[in-house]
Structures are given as structure tokens and as C-alpha cells.
Amino acid sequence: MLVDFTTLPEESRVWIYQANRSFTDDEIAEIKSKLDIFISNWTAHGSDLQSGYDIKYKRFIIIALNQELNKATGCSIDASVHFIQQLEKDYNVDLMDKMNVSYKQGEYIAYKTLIDFKKMAKEKAVSKNTIVFNNLVTNIAEFNESWEVPASESWHSRFL
């Protein structure tokens, strides 16, 4: 059951998929249409999953699920992973690699491998004040408070 992302409770579980490049406006329109269909039909053991999504900075796909109504099951999580994998194929983009880092350089969103980010930290090209995206947040409350934070307030701090 598709609902507006902003209406979901703060305890709702989130999954964040970061792209290794920005999506075009046309791609975003297509992806939104595909997300509308997928989430409208997303179920767990035949029960509707109250879910919503958001696309941020033309680069991040965030899917949220109100687990107070129905929890995601192995099969429903697998379905969402297969959906994301299909998007990867359709748009020739990487969405599943968790070993990459996105951070802000002014208004630009940069994307680096973890190895490159570590090197940049060592060379002082990024600092504790660099805004990073903590894609390890697990619910909407954490997403709102701790997703886009200075590196010093995220797991990225271990490299600084």
C-alpha cells in the first residue's frame, strides 16, 4: 500500500540505496513510476505493506515501511532487492554497493570508493566537518536526524 513518505511513523524501517551517479530528470520520472507500481503491490504473506519512498539529490532512493502494521518478511525483502537490482540493470547504475561513500562538496554530491575516501581523509581533503550520508540509519527518525551529518557524527569518523 503506497502512502506518502512524509506520513509514515518515525519508527518506520528505511532502506537507502545510493547511486554511483546522478539520475536524469527523465530517469527519476520513470523510477518514480516503477516505485509507485512496486510499492502498491508489495506484500508480506499476502498482506499489504504500508510503504512510501523518497528520492533525494537525484541520487538516493529511500524506501520506508511502517512495520507497526505489517513487518517485512524474507520474501518481501527479497522482492525489494530484486526490484532494486532491476533498476540497476535498467539504468546501468550501481545501487547496492555499501562500500562506497557519498558526501557533499558544496551543493555537489560526490561519490567515492571507501578506499578513496580513506585516502582523502588521510590527505585532509575531507574533514570532520564534511557532510556525509550515513546510509546505515534504520528508521525514519534516524534518517531525519542522522542521515546527512558531519563526518564526525557518523561511522565515517573512524577515518578522520
At the topology level, CATH places domain 5-91 in Gyrase A; domain 2 (3.30.1360)
pLDDT band at 129 (very low <50, low <70, confident <90, very high): very high
Q: How far is CA 156 from CA 36, 55, 145, in A?
A: 33, 23, 16
Q: How far is the C-alpha of 95 from the C-alpha of 3, rounded, in Å?
A: 23
For 42, what's the count of Cα atoms within 13 Å in the CB-facing half-sphere?
32
* Predicted confidence band of residue 83 (pLDDT cuts 50, 70, 90): very high
pTM: 0.93
| pLDDT of 151 strictly over 90 | yes
Strands 108-113 and 131-133: unpaired
CA atoms 6, 10, 14, 18: torsion sign? positive
The CA distance from 27 to 33, in Å, is: 10
pLDDT score recorded for residue 18: 96
Domain ranges of the chain: 5-91, 100-159
CA-based torsion, 144, 29, 16, 4: positive or negative: positive
pLDDT category of residue 46 using cuts at 50, 70 and 90: confident
